[in-house]
Structure 1
Amino acid sequence: MDEADENGVNPAAPAGRDTGMVVIGATTLARRACASLGEIGHPVDHLAAPDDQDLRRALAARPAGIAVLVGDDLSALRYALAVRHVCDSVRIVVTVFDRTVAEQLRLLLRDCVPVSPADLLAPTLAGLCVDPDALAVWDDGHGAVAVRPQEDRLVETAWRASAAARRRALLGRLRGQLQPHDADARLLLIGLLGIVSVLVLDWVWLVGVFHKPVSTAFLEAARVVAGVGPAAPHAGHPVYEVVSGAAMLVTVGFTALLTAGIVDRLFGPRLVGVLGPRVLPRSGHVIVVGLGQVGLRLCQTLRQLGVPVVGVEREPTAPNLRLARSMGIPVVLAHGEDREVLARLGLGRARALAAVGSHELDNIAVAVAAHGVAPDIRVVLRAGEDEAIAETRSLLPLGLTRDINRTSAAFVTAQLTAERAGAAPRRVVAGADCDHVDLPGRGLVGWPVPAGDDCGHVSGGGERDTVRSALGAG
């Protein structure tokens, strides 16, 4: 934790009365936050899935703060409203992924701090993907900012991609315009290019050989493409008549391909564009496997930094696919651990691959497959729920791993102790061994969190069903 200030007082340590905390939830994050608060001396009342009576009892003890760290936004909203109904003065820190729900909580409830673990970790993951020397990179609205280690402290500096990286990204976008990835895009493009080619060649023949007026030549060429034949017979030119007849037959096939491609795109998810900003980049990009909340926020952060990105999601009904499309993020429906898929996505020419799915064993499989396709590729992994990540890192250099629950617990505990720390933290930067909380006036301060998730109060597993049953009882 941070060192004592000039008066010899640790600002995060409890002092005076009302230093107890209440933690709600049985998630790994809740257990980590509970253990962290207990380690710095705060009494903690940890409730896995309390009903209204449990909340009233806990709030009767006048806690200094309440952390609502449950697994879904509806439960978090319900608990936050219930807490504020019982007590209008206690500080509430609540994990909420949906930004609309978070904004409403911020507006409706006084002294309520919505926290999104995905938003907290995205700058760190983005920094690891685009800059080997940076701990985090983000766009603050005035330009890109990077956090770098300098001697024995962390400093914020302006960030810009190197000229070589920008050139590769530009060429990758241009190449992507001519290389459709999915089958329906290829059908559409082949059919469209075939029809245009027949039209142009017939028009050039009519203008160059027969000296037809430009408009008349276009009309006759269009009739050939439409399959109704030349506008007028061309006596003495059997070659043209044969070629135009063959062109009409070939155009029937091209029209079928074009129609099939259009139908597939009209009724399909249309996650990848044929032309424009949603085409798949072919070099200088970052491949993000897993389009959950963390993956979507990471893609959004990378796009804000001007870095091309490709999302990979295996579930065609994933709720974030619609959001990714509205943000202009190309997404491929496939399994990220499939080497053929990674090769088709240009992994060898990519900046990095981020495996950020919610199932960490799947992230391990993706990392192994990525090293098999491109041994030198930079791999970034999300961790926090499964001990297999830590065990595997000792056996195989999988990549750069960041613990989302440890980072979120650091920020939550800093928020709960904000009054004693002097000011609420603005962000958190995840390091390999320690997280750093950005406190106004003090900069990035080391904020360690216990390595284990055993707080001694609540065991893991089965939280969602328990929470729902308790809410129904309340």
Structure 2
Amino acid sequence: MIVSGDDALAHRLAGELRDVYGEFVVLVVPPETGAAATRIPAGGLTRASALFGRVSSAMLRTPAAGPEGQHGARLLEAREPTDAALVEAGVERAAALALVHRDDETNIRAALVARRLNPRVRLVIRLYNRKLGQYLQELLDQAAALTTPDPGPAGAESSTTVLSDADTAAPALAATALAGTSKVVHADGVLLRAGQRPPPGSGEVTDPGLCTLALLSSTTNDPAGSEGSDRSGSEGPRLLPDERSLDEAGHRGRVVLETVTYTGPVQSPGRLTDLGAPLGRLFSRRLRWSLAGVVASVVALAVATWLTTGDDPLHAAYLTLLDIFAIDDPAVGAPVSRQVLQLLSGLTGLLLLPVLIAAVLEGLGTFRNASALSRPPRGLSGHVVLLGMGKIGARVLVRLRELNIPVVCVEADPAARGIALARRLRVPTVIGDVTQEGILESARIHRAHALLALTSSDTTNLEAALYARSVKPDLRVVMRLYDDDFATAVYRTLRAAHPQAMTRSRSVSHLAAPAFAGAMMGRQILGAIPVERKVLLFAAVDVAGHGQLVGRTVEEAFREGAWRILALDTSSPADRVPDLGATRRPGDLVWRIPPNYVLRPEDRVVLAATRRGLAELLGRRPSSRVTR
């Protein structure tokens, strides 16, 4: 496995492949000095510790083994993943190549070179531009098919997967605002989450959910919690337990799979181009009162004319309107009452003229400013304050609006990439530095339901969270923090200071790395749900070619601690959507499968698996190693 990148995602992905799947990994990173491509010895832990971090510094403690079924690691320095660098990394013999540089152009150039050097290599590309990613994926797959017309078993697995760390992490961050947890999966238009349940003997009546995913560790009732810490106690969580384990673990909490529904206030699109746009969006309250006063004056004058002249009511109203618009003959020689009413009607007409001009100007101004950023309405409450409209914030905004959750965005840069999206969706937006006084108040933070601090600055996110907590102590807060140790310390401190509030700290690279690693293993990953410090992967798998599934019932195919079948795709193979996670039409997946259903080769299933269990199911390592 080759991983080429220049940020934390590359380091986490390399550690994921080596430590979890037991793969031989070559990590290609930019050099610290001017050296073009310098190998770091296996015992050189100084650079490795700084590069891989705490979770993967052990990659270089063992001698770098060969790629023939053994695990190990090798570090290669290169400024860019050029032809020479990829050849030095061994791309001709690699099973998969992940290109996770922050620059899309660098990843695209390297992907084209890699496909030419090895048409059978499995490519996982990190791109922010999703439409370009779809075209690139089709192009590279077509090139592989034309280059290897008879690929054989190895080439049959060749594929191209385009992922975005923003798209991978956005569902988890958006779900935190919705359900207070980032443990979510999108599949077939359904939003699923992992909900915690107390032990059966606690006396609480709870929904059992679709199935039990894990038994929590015995220390999950720690006042500071175990989700933000690497040390979850002497007894860790037990993933995918069987019925006997559930009966024996009466003192442990559980994690169950359940659907997520939003029952709070919803945010209407509020577009001025809609036919049903409210009158209040066009005309101000003062103008509406002025128009009402003029109408009342016209009605009063018409009634007075009817009573004084004795004419028909319609004729009296007609005369009044003629007087108001100054197109009637002067009432010379008429009774005094008629003359007085005509003068009052003329005065009313003079007052009506500026009101009509103001109405026209306000209406034109409203339509002219329809493309401008809207401001938070005065009575807004129960909304989500989204801080930061970069690539992560923009993706989270799309997820929240798909769920009709009211959102107020805060961004310091008017040219941020998410501002145009907020303008198009008519989402209220506050432009200003969140560290300045009054910015969060403009976003109605004191009446908000949650704060998502997703800027690229850890200190800015922390400052916004602390200030928001001072305004509303029970506010649900989710922070994007780059450093894991810093995130753990912040999480524990805020939970201890505000035990009744919901606090979460998330790293985008931590949430995205399992999905990228699963894609390198050759399967469509729908999502990754963390259970304390372990991870469950959800994947769509074709039954054909897997001896552990074909011809077995759903109950027989279950493997404790490895995988569990959750859903069956009922659509025909010709009509199946390749990416279930992007499907917006629910109904193709059946989530409650009879235990005696026999799996057929043409079936496709959605399963939950541990990372080692998924590796065994894909045949990447011996079964004896799957112990988690």
- What's the TM-score once normalised by structure 1's chain length? 0.71
| Aligned position for 2:533 | 433
Matches for 1:42-57 after TM superposition, within 5 Å: 42-48=23-29, 49-57=80-88
Query: 1:272 matched to which residue of 2?
Result: 374
Please tell me whether the aligned partners of residues 190 and 257 of structure 1 are also in contact (alpha carbons under 8 angstroms).
Answer: no
The residue type equivalent to 1:282 in the other structure is: L
Q: 1:236-265 CA deviation, whole Å, 9 max, x = no partner? A: 13656555545545666x469727944871
Aligned residue in 1 for 2:260:
159
Over 3 Å counting, the alpha-carbon distance change for 1:356 and 1:438 in structure 2 is same
Question: Does the 8 Å CA contact 1:23/1:69 hold for their aligned counterparts?
Answer: yes
Aligned partners of 1:220, 1:430: CA distance in 2, in Å? 73
**1:446/1:311 Cα in 2 relative to 1: closer, same or farther (>3 Å)?**
farther
1:131-172 deviation line (CA, Å, top 9, x unaligned): 23x54456645444333245525443233234xx2xxx15x7
Q: Which amino acid aligns with 1:47?
A: V
Structure 1 stretches of 5 or more lacking a match? 1-20, 178-184, 449-474
Question: For the residues of structure 2 that align with 1:161 and 1:392, how far apart are their CA atoms?
Answer: 28
**Match status 1:346 vs 2:444:** yes
The residue that corresponds to 2:380 in the other structure is 282
Q: Contact between 1:271 and 1:330, CA under 8 Å: does it hold in 2?
A: yes
Give 1:306 deviation, angstroms: 2.8
The Cα of 1:121 is off from its aligned counterpart by 1.5
Residue type matched to 1:101 in 2? L
Is 1:69 equivalent to 2:100 in the alignment? yes
Aligned AA (1:377): L
Question: Is 2:290 the counterpart of 1:189?
Answer: no
Give a deviation string over 1:351-374, Cα, whole Å, max 9, x none. Answer: 212111222222112212211221
Q: Which amino acid aligns with 1:292?
A: G
SS of residue paired to 1:270: coil
Partner-residue secondary structure (3-state), 2:416: coil
Counterpart in the other structure of 2:392: 294
Aligned residues of 1:280 and 1:330 also touching (Cα < 8 A): no
Q: Secondary structure at the match of 2:438?
A: helix
Cα distance in 1 for partners of 2:389, 2:424 equals: 14
Q: Point out the more displaced range, 286-295 or 136-145.
A: 136-145
Q: Which residue of 1 aligns with 2:608?
A: 444
Deviation of the 1:197 alpha carbon: 3.6
2: CA distance between counterparts of 1:446 and 1:344? 45
Residues 401-431 of structure 1 show CA distances to partners (whole Å, capped at 9, x for unaligned) of 122101211222222234xxxx442222345
From the superposition, tell whether residues 246 and 293 of structure 1 become closer, same or farther in structure 2 (CA, over 3 Å): same
Question: Separation in 2 of the partners of 1:246 and 1:327?
Answer: 39
396-405 or 83-92, which moves further after superposition?
396-405
- Give the direction of change, closer, same or farther, for the CA distance of 1:432–1:321 in structure 2 (3 Å limit): farther
**Which structure has the bigger radius of gyration?**
2
Question: Is structure 2 residue 124 aligned with structure 1 residue 124?
Answer: no
Write the letter of the residue equivalent to 2:163. V
Shift of 1:393: 3.3
Residues 24 and 175 from structure 1, CA distance in 2 versus in 1: closer, same or farther, beyond 3 angstroms?
A: closer
- Partner amino acid, structure 2, of 1:146: R
Over 3 Å counting, the alpha-carbon distance change for 1:208 and 1:114 in structure 2 is farther
> Is the CA contact 1:176–1:280 (under 8 Å) kept in the aligned structure 2?
no
Contact 2:184–2:527, Cα closer than 8 Å, also in 1: no
1:145 aligned residue (192, 200, 204): 192
Q: Secondary structure at the match of 2:474?
A: coil
In the alignment, does 2:78 pair up with 1:30? no
Which secondary structure state, in structure 2, belongs to the residue aligned with residue 409 of structure 1? helix
**Corresponding position of 2:127:** 96
Contact 2:283 2:362 in 1 (8 A): yes
CA contact under 8 A between 2:391 and 2:417: conserved in structure 1?
no
The secondary structure found in structure 1 opposite 2:477 is strand
- Equivalent position amino acid for 1:408 in 2: A
Q: Which amino acid aligns with 1:333?
A: I
CA distance in 1, matches of 2:360, 2:439: 28
1:402 aligns with 2:506: yes
Q: Structure 1 residue aligned with 2:515, among 411, 420, 424?
A: 411
- Once residues 448 and 319 of structure 2 are traced to their aligned partners in structure 1, the CA distance between those partners, rounded to angstroms, is 44
- Corresponding residue for residue 355 of structure 1: 453
Do 1:198 and 1:247's aligned partners in 2 also have CA atoms closer than 8 Å? no
Match of 2:475 in 1: 377
TM-fit CA distance, 1:345: 2.9
Query: Which letter does structure 2 place at the counterpart of 1:57?
Result: E
Compared CA separation, residues 257 and 445, structure 1 to 2 (3 A): same
1:118 Cα shift? 1.5
User: 1:100 offset after TM fit, Å?
Assistant: 0.5
- Rounded to whole Å, the distance in 1 between the matches of 2:192 and 2:319 is 55
Question: 2:195 is aligned with what amino acid?
Answer: R
Deviates more, 1:342-351 or 1:121-130: 342-351
Please report how far the alpha carbon of residue 63 of structure 1 lies from its aligned counterpart in structure 2 after TM superposition. 1.5
* Alignment length (residue pairs): 399
- Cα displacement (A) at 1:280: 8.3
SS of 2:529's equivalent in the other structure is strand
Q: Is the 8 A contact 2:91 2:114 kept in 1?
A: no
Check whether the contact 2:319–2:328 (CA below 8 A) recurs between aligned residues. Answer: no
| Distance in structure 2 (CA, Å) of the matches to 1:439 and 1:98 | 23
Letter aligned with residue 459 of structure 2: L
Q: CA deviation at 1:194?
A: 5.5
* Structure 2: 5+ residue stretches without partners: 30-79, 142-158, 197-211, 216-239, 241-254, 273-279, 307-312, 331-337, 496-501, 542-562, 564-606, 613-628
Alignment deviations for residues 106-144 of structure 1 (CA, whole Å, 9 cap, x no partner): 211221111111221122122221223x54456645444
CA shift, 1:283, in A, is 2.2
- Distance in 1 between residues matched to 2:100 and 2:28, nearest whole Å: 10
Deviation of the 1:299 alpha carbon: 1.8
Name 1:453's counterpart in structure 2.
Answer: none
Q: 1:400: how far off?
A: 0.8
Decide whether the 8 Å contact of 1:355 with 1:363 is kept in 2: yes
CA–CA separation in structure 2 for the residues paired with 1:433 and 1:196: 64
For residues 445-460 of structure 1, the aligned pairs below 5 Å read: 445-447=609-611
Q: Percent identical across equivalent pairs?
A: 23
Match of 2:58 in 1: none
- C-alpha contact (below 8 Å) 1:229/1:248 kept by paired residues: no
For residue 379 of structure 1, report the CA deviation from its aligned partner: 0.9
Please tell me the residue identity of whatever aligns with 2:128.
Answer: F
- Closer/same/farther in 2, CA of residues 214 and 359 from structure 1, 3 Å limit: farther
> One-letter code of the match for 1:345?
A
The verdict on how the C-alpha distance between 1:56 and 1:231 changes in structure 2, with shifts beyond 3 A counting, is farther
Matched to 1:43, the amino acid is F
Structure holding more helix per residue? 1
TM-score of the superposition, structure 2-length normalised?
A: 0.55
